[in-house]
Amino acid sequence: MDVRQPELAMHESMELHELLNFKTVCLAKSKMMQGLVFDQDLRALMQKDVEQSLQDIGELQSLYSQAPIQ
Amino acid sequence: MNQDYLDPINSEGMPDMANSFLALDFLLSVKTGVRNYAFALSETATPEVRSVLRAQLDRAISLHEELSQLMIDKGWLHPVDTGKQYQLDVKSAETTAQIARMKLFPDDTSRLGTFATPDY
C-alpha cells in the first residue's frame, strides 16, 4: 500500500532532528548513570525516564520519517 | 583531600556526593528537555507534530516535578532554604574542583590493542 505521507515543513524537520538527538543522548545517559547511582529511588526515576524516552523516541522517529530531507 | 585517589579517606561521604551530583545532572537534563520541547512546539506547523510534542512536554514536566521533589526530600536541593542551597553549591563546587585537579588517568588513554579493532 503506497500512501504518500504528508510532508513536514523544513524548519519543523530541523526541530525534530534536534529533539531526536537530544532525547537519544538523554536516553543513553539515564541508562548508563543507573550503574553509578547508589540511591535506589533515584535509580527508579532514571529507569522511568529510560522507558519514557524509548516511547518518545519511537514517536519522534515516525514523525521524522515524514521529513522532506531524505 | 590528598592527591592519592586510592586513599580510602577520600571515599568518605562519596556515595552521597555521587548521588546528589548525578541527580543534579539528571535535573539539568530534564529542565533542558522542557525548554527544548517548548521551543520546538512554538515552531510546529503540522497538527500531528504539535500533539505529539505536547504530550511529550507534559510527560517531561511531570518527570521534572517528581525528580525535584525527590531531590528536596533527600536533601540534595533546597529551593526554599537559600542558606542551605548556598552551602551545598559552594561545597560541591569546591569538592569537584579538587577532584578535577587530581591526576586520575594515565597519560596515554588510547588503549589500542585491547580491543578487537585491527583496522582502526
Q: What are the sequence ranges of the domains in chain A?
A: 10-65
Average pLDDT, chain B: 92
Among A64-68, B9-13, B88-92, which is the least confidently predicted range?
B9-13
How far is Cα of residue B47 from the mean position of the Cα atoms in its chain? Answer: 34
How far is Cα of residue B104 from the mean position of the Cα atoms in its chain? Answer: 20
Of the candidates A45, A52, A59, which has its C-beta nearest B67's C-beta? A45
Interface test with A, best of B11, B16, B19 (most A CBs within 10 A): B19
Q: Please tell me the predicted confidence (pLDDT) of residue B55.
A: 98
> Which pTM does this prediction carry?
0.90
Q: In Å, how far is A48's CA from the nearest CA of chain B?
A: 9
What does the alpha-carbon distance between residue B45 and residue A66 come to, in Å, rounded to a whole number?
A: 13
- Helix H or strand E encompassing B89: helix B82-100
What does the alpha-carbon distance between residue A65 and residue A27 come to, in Å, rounded to a whole number?
A: 20
User: Quick one: cell of A64?
Assistant: 521524522
> Who wins on pLDDT, A46 or B8?
A46
Interface test with A, best of B31, B35, B48 (most A CBs within 10 A): B48
The model's pLDDT over B49-95, given as tens digits with 9 standing for 90+, comes to 999 999 999 999 999 999 999 999 999 999 999 999 999 999 999 99
What does the alpha-carbon distance between residue B61 and residue B59 come to, in Å, rounded to a whole number?
A: 5
Burial A45-65 (b: 16+ CB within 10 A, else e): bbebbbebbeebbebbeebbe
| Residue B109, SS3 per DSSP | coil
Q: B26 Cβ partners below 8 Å, 6+ apart? A: A29, A30, A33, A42, A45, A46, A49, B67
| Residue A42, SS3 per DSSP | helix
Of the candidates A6, A12, A42, which has its C-beta nearest B19's C-beta? A42
Q: Please tell me the predicted confidence (pLDDT) of residue A5.
A: 64
Half-sphere exposure for B23 (CA within 13 Å, toward CB)? 28
- Residues on chain A touching B56 (C-beta within 8 angstroms): 56, 59-60
Radius of gyration of chain B (CA): 21
